[in-house]
């Protein structure tokens, strides 16, 4: 992106930031956004190391930095790979290429810190906060872990290049995507066995998302600026959707044109990342196949997208905070010194009277009742 374009975006954010305050929250309720860094590879210039906590009710003002993993002399920073939180247990989890650690949401203190065979990738947490699925770093298996202690409960073998993971909203299924497979595997967390799959898709699966009913999945794949749609119930691929009017072009990271996809919580829109063109493309998800309705510009090549629980805010990995309805930039996430924070690993935590009451998800999963 050119300097002129970035300056224009920043000016837009400053102009709109006054309207970026959430309408009056429920009495005693507070909404915080947690961004784990380094959340773009291991690049420290995009926010340093730690958990950055933002006040969503006050224009996403930075509140504090929670220390996570100290930078040791002569050792490269650890890429953050995933983030998850649960209000019932009051814990938030951060995975890196080497480890997973749990932190207390009330005290900010580390509760446990463990390494696993094969490393760790993008984690997923059960709705009740009891079980954490930890993919090995592009390896053959996932570990099912006791989320309170970090102890391994079981190993789930797929041989697919373990990577992205989504725990179903009802807690009855876990969706396992590997970098080496066109099949989205489905595991039963009661037995920790693979019980099904969706696909094959046209290539290996990258980021993906699901609707709340767990009837549809939307997947980015290698070699496609766009996404494919799968029927979770039948296991069949339904549609291939290419972003119209844009060339794929070269990308700086991830090696695929679209690395990032999310449903708005009401499941009306699907937002899709476009690395080469530094854009997010918005599709009408109320029709099948989804139809493109808009595009928005971001300041760098996006590699992720998720949303606030109420759907008011859209969070691309490039650090802008979008008003989802107007598609305007409200503000840009900053750190203690600059406005250069970027992260593919963010999650919302809602506090009621000082205690965690609800949590979002790093994936833009559907929440339609």
How many CB atoms sit inside 10 A of residue 338's CB? 10
Share above pLDDT 70 across residues of the chain, in percent, rounded to a whole number? 93
The Cα 68–Cα 332 span in angstroms is 23
Higher pLDDT, 8 or 226: 226
CA distance 349 to 330: 20
Residue 21: per-residue pLDDT = 56
- What three-state secondary structure class fits 80? strand
- Tell me what the mean pLDDT of segment 116-129 comes to: 98
Rounded Cα–Cα distance for residues 255 and 181 (Å): 15
pLDDT in tens, 48-81: 999 999 999 999 999 999 999 988 888 899 999 9
pLDDT at 10 over 80: no
Question: 9-13, 198-202, 219-223, 275-279: which range is least confident on average?
Answer: 9-13
Query: Tell me, what's the pLDDT at 6?
Result: 46
**Mean predicted confidence (pLDDT) in 289-299:** 98
Contact 279, 249 (CB under 8 A): no
Q: Provide the pLDDT for residue 72.
A: 84
The pLDDT score that the predictor gives to residue 74 is: 87
Which residue did the predictor score with more confidence, 72 or 120? 120
- Phi, psi (rounded to 5 degrees) for 324: -60, -40
**Domains along the chain with CATH numbers:** 3-359 (2.130.10.10)
Pairing relationship of beta strands 131-135 and 124-125 according to DSSP bridges:
antiparallel
Examine the pLDDT at 18 and tell me if it is beyond 70.
Answer: no
What is the model's pLDDT at position 4? 43
Closest alpha carbon to 93 in 24, 22, 148: 148
Q: Is there a cis peptide before residue 289, judged by omega within 30 degrees of 0?
A: yes
Predicted local distance difference test score (pLDDT) of residue 340: 85
Q: What is the pLDDT of residue 12?
A: 45
Q: Residue 22: what pLDDT?
A: 56
> Which residue, 260, 229, 231, 242, is CA-closest to 362?
260
pLDDT interval class at 16 (50, 70, 90):
very low
- Share of residues in the chain with pLDDT > 90 (%): 89
């Amino acid at each position: 992106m050119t300097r002129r374009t970035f300056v224009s975006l920043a000016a837009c954010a400053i102009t709109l930031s006054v309207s970026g305050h959430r309408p009056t929250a429920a009495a005693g309720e507070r909404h915080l956004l947690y961004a784990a860094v380094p959340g773009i590879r291991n690049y420290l210039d995009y926010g340093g190391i730690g958990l950055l906590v933002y006040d969503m009710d006050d224009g996403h003002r930075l509140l504090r930095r929670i220390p996570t993993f100290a930078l040791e002399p002569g050792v490269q920073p650890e890429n953050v790979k995933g983030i998850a939180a649960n209000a019932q247990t009051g814990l938030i989890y951060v995975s890196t290429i080497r480890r997973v650690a749990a932190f207390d949401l009330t005290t900010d203190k580390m509760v446990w810190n463990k390494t696993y065979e094969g490393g760790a990738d993008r984690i997923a947490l059960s709705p009740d906060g009891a079980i954490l699925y930890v993919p090995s770093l592009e390896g053959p298996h996932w570990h099912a872990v006791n989320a309170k202690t970090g102890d391994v409960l079981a190993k789930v073998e797929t041989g697919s290049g373990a990577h992205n993971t989504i725990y179903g909203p009802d807690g009855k299924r876990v969706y396992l995507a590997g970098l080496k497979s066109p099949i989205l595997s489905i595991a039963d967390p009661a037995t920790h066995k693979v019980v099904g799959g969706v696909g094959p898709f046209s290539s290996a699966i990258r980021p993906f998302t699901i609707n709340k009913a767990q009837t549809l999945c939307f997947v980015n794949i290698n070699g496609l600026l766009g996404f494919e749609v799968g029927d979770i119930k039948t296991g069949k691929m339904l549609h291939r959707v290419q972003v119209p009017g844009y060339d794929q072009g070269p990308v700086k990271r991830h090696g695929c044109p679209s690395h990032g996809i999310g449903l708005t919580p009401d499941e009306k829109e699907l937002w899709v990342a476009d690395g080469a063109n530094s854009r997010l493309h918005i599709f009408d998800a109320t029709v099948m196949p989804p139809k493109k309705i808009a595009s928005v510009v971001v300041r760098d090549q996006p590699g992720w997208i998720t949303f606030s629980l109420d759907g008011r805010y859209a969070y691309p990995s490039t650090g802008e905070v979008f008003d989802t309805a107007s598609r305007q930039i409200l503000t840009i996430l900053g750190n203690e010194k600059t406005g250069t924070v970027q992260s593919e690993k963010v999650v919302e935590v809602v506090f009621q009277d000082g205690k965690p009451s609800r949590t979002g998800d790093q994936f833009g999963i559907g929440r339609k009742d």
